[in-house]
Amino acid sequence: MNKLVEHFNSTYGLKDVRGVRSPLRICPIGAHSDHQLGKVTGMTLDASVDFVYAPAPDGYVNVQSLDFPDKEYFHVSHEAEYIPGSWVNYLRGAVMSLRQDYVLKTGVSGVVSGKLPIGGLSSSAAVTTAYLMALSDVNGIELSKMELIQYSHWVETQFIGLKNGILDQSANVLSMDNELMVMDCRTNEHEMIQKGEDMPAFEVIVVYSGISKHLISTDFNNRTDELRVAGWLLQDLSGMDHTPDLSQVYLRNISSDVYDQYKDQLPERFRKRAAHFYTEQERVRKGAEAWKDGDLQAFGQYMFESGESSFYQYESGIPEMKTIYDILRETEGVYGARPSGAGYRGAVIGLVDPSKKDVIKEAIDSRYPIAHPEYKDVYAVNFCQTADGADYITDLEEWV
């Protein structure tokens, strides 16, 4: 944050400087379920996307990133268009999402940056939330947490074009330190579960594979469609009334009894996708109970099982992330691990015993660069704490 403030002051020299801390998130259990209206878990980290800004009464958005070249400059009244592959899309999308319901008159001048290699931790949701909060702040717009989630989700689905659910935004906004968020993506209801009193100390490991790519260029949307096809076939096999519009088919609306009865009649690809969803929902239920009981060993095992299902049932993993996952699974001190995000790039996350961090890092450093030498200079091992969700920095000088 110091570097952000210094860069802001040297670039803009404005008063009334404000800040937003928008944390990165992990999903311990519940992967690939939110877009099927399933239940998911989430928690946020002390690694974040930070945005330092000041109101711009002339209505112009003038933002620089410390992580990407170029700067963005446009008026809040202008029709902002999507630019393939550009970091500015989330800023443009934030403006366009709020303009659906509000007249924006004040822009922002600001500088944004993240703290980690952040593929797989949903930096997109984090940065979108930061922009939405800043734009709302300077325009006197008061958004509830659920409204903030919905506007952020609109940016990714309608402006960017991803067919994802609300996991990323919900975890980013709703999470509380030391608590597990369980979100019902069908009802938008959520529960915060305090960790059990006897839970041992843990930290979150984030192993960045060195691979970053935009999800829109992967099979992410294809996997979402395959889940919907699996649901459509289950409806057809069971004689349920159903719509021919795949976009309205959700596995959450099809009972596990129907799945159990007709799963063997599904073609292999769609049977695997459905198997991941229904078994993952059971892991969310059991994982929430284990967290409440303070049983980190059991919770970690469900994470491992989620990882296996993501690789072999959902088939979203890539070799580099599978290597990291296997190393963590075989290393002492790792309670649980799974690929983070969509599984096509980014990081593998886990919960670890803090006293074993050196052993765990050595295991990765000794094996991953040999297995994937092309990434030996860009992969990274980070250890994080859990943290509260996105919030304004009320006293920027004190925070720095």
Q: Which of 379, 328, 376 is nearest to 356 (CA)?
A: 328
Element (H, E) at 44: strand 39-56
| Token pair for 360 | 């765990």
Q: What pLDDT, on a 0 to 100 scale, did the predictor assign at position 221?
A: 79
- The answer to whether 307 and 314 have CB atoms below 8 angstroms apart is no
- The answer to whether 310 and 338 have CB atoms below 8 angstroms apart is yes
- Give the distance from CA 315 to its chain's centroid: 19
Q: What is the pLDDT along the chain (400 residues), one digit of tens a residue?
A: 678 889 999 999 888 999 999 999 899 999 899 889 999 999 999 989 999 999 999 999 999 999 888 899 999 999 989 998 888 999 999 999 999 999 999 999 999 998 655 555 678 889 999 999 999 999 999 999 999 999 999 999 999 988 777 888 998 999 999 999 999 999 989 999 999 999 999 999 999 998 876 544 457 778 889 999 999 999 999 998 876 688 899 999 999 999 999 999 999 999 999 999 999 999 999 999 999 999 999 999 999 999 999 999 999 878 999 999 999 999 999 999 999 866 666 889 999 999 999 999 999 999 999 999 999 999 999 999 999 999 999 777 655 5
Tell me the catalytic residues. 168
CA-CA distance, 11 to 64, in Å (whole number)? 9
Radius of gyration of the chain, Cα coordinates, nearest whole angstrom: 21
CATH fold for the domain made of 203-386: Alpha-Beta Plaits (3.30.70)
Tell me the whole-structure pTM to 2 decimals.
0.89
State in Å, rounded, how far the first CA of the chain is from the last one.
6
Dump pLDDT digits (tens) for 341-381: 666 668 899 999 999 999 999 999 999 999 999 999 999 99
Dump pLDDT digits (tens) for 120-161: 567 888 999 999 999 999 999 999 999 999 999 999 999 998
Dihedral angle, C-alpha 284, 286, 287, 293, nearest 10 °: 150
Element (H, E) at 7: helix 2-11
- Give the distance from CA 145 to its chain's centroid: 16
The answer for residues whose C-beta is within 8 angstroms of residue 230's C-beta and 6 or more apart is 251, 266, 270, 271, 273, 274, 277
Q: Which of 5, 23, 36 is nearest to 225 (CA)?
A: 36
CA-CA distance, 294 to 180, in Å (whole number)? 11
CA-CA distance, 46 to 337, in Å (whole number)? 19
Strands 39-56 and 107-114 turn out to be antiparallel
CATH of the domain spanning 2-195+388-399, picked from 3.40.50.970, 3.30.230.10, 3.40.640.10, 3.30.70.580: 3.30.230.10
Residue 268 CB: number of other CB atoms within 10 A? 7
Spell out the domain ranges in the chain. 2-195+388-399, 203-386
